[in-house]
Amino acid sequence: MDKITTLGIEPVDEIKVFDLVGDFAGVQGSRIEDSKGHTILRACGNYDLSGPENSFVGAHAFSNFIKVTKDGKSRYFLFDVGQNRTALEHNSRVFRTLDPDFDLEKVEFILLSHGHSDHFYNLNLALEMVNPRKERQIPLYVAGDSFFTPRAKVSGERFLKSGEYLVIAPDREGAEKRGGQWIVSSRPVLLMDDTLLYLGSIRPEAKKAGIAKDYEMKPRPWPKFYECDAKGNIIDSSVEDEADEDTSIAFNLRDKGLVVITACSHGGVNTSLLYARAVSGMDKVYCYYGGFHPNSDVNATAADLLSHGIRYIIPTHCTPWGLVNLLWQKNQEAEKPFLLTKNHLAPVGNIYTFSKEYED
């Protein structure tokens, strides 16, 4: 088994996450505060508070605008960009109206979790919004060359047989023309003055290190993905594409612990978290947020997820309802509720603020 190299993450004082593009909108939400009145969750998607003209657009996709503050200095980046043009443009306008911290032109770089279209397809548009005058080089991080592979997403076996599927691949040259600068890092790397850990290619590295959960390495239910050739033909329908480049990101929130954000966790919901803990050398997990895309064993996924002692869990995007319901049941029984949502996926339009100053 391979030994994991530990990378120490410099602590930060505050992490502010804007749920920019997500699957659901219009879900009524409320503000969640700590005992001192600090706002942990601001539900901007509740248009009863902000008006119908400032409601958000939901679309099956994932994108976060993230602000990180240390010693009074703030920095900004995007984690994924979604795939629906209308959602990205509209939701950016609404966030810009509702919160002065939201400014896409402050984005320094874009981190891409994996090569599925609901995470990368808006990249050219995002670069035009981040870098409208093409005056800057915008680093674009991916965790493996497999990110650029043309892939077919197939909804079921009959569609595989009939050839009813769409093949999409990233527009590598288009991004470069808009100032994008590709950086491939399959191994974990520290960014932003060592305050941000980009975990690289999780699934294969966790397997080599012997920390991958066996049940999370098994084939997933439909829909499935297959590698295609340049003409859009599936190369081998007996071999599923496992998105080996799938990655997550992590922060060290001062005095609190790890904050881990995953887009889809194709590397495994719990495997990704175990890998983040191993690479960072930190055991305490303060928050785990994102798309928890497990295989069919949601019971094992939920049990393992709850075993980490996580203060806040935020399921969104591709998290199946079975897992959400299991977590919600446990949340109702908990002495300290840990879900920053109700019995549904966290909706687009939420702003989460995690700070060293907040009470748990």
The helix/strand/coil state of 156 is: coil
Fold of the domain spanning 11-355: Metallo-beta-lactamase; Chain A (3.60.15)
Whole-Å CA distances, 182 to 3, 132, 140: 28, 18, 5
How many whole angstroms separate alpha carbon 348 and alpha carbon 84? 13
For residue 326, the number of C-alpha atoms closer than 13 Å in the C-beta half-sphere is 16
User: What is the Cα–Cα distance from 91 to 78, expressed in whole angstroms?
Assistant: 14
Tens digit of each residue's pLDDT (9 = 90 or more) over 269-304: 999 999 999 999 999 999 999 999 877 799 999 999
| Chain segment 32-87, per-residue pLDDT in tens | 888 899 999 998 876 666 777 888 999 999 999 999 999 999 999 999 999 999 99
- Whole-model pTM above 0.85? yes
Annotated domain spans of the chain: 11-355
User: Quick one: which of 276, 219, 260 has its CA closest to 243?
Assistant: 219
Q: Can you name the residues that pair with 140 across neighbouring β-strands?
A: 110, 182
In which residue ranges of the chain is pLDDT below 50?
Answer: none
d(CA 194, CA 11): 9
* Per-residue tokens: 25: 């909108």
259: closest CA among 232, 277, 279, 235? 277
Say how far apart CA 65 and CA 78 lie, in whole Å. 5
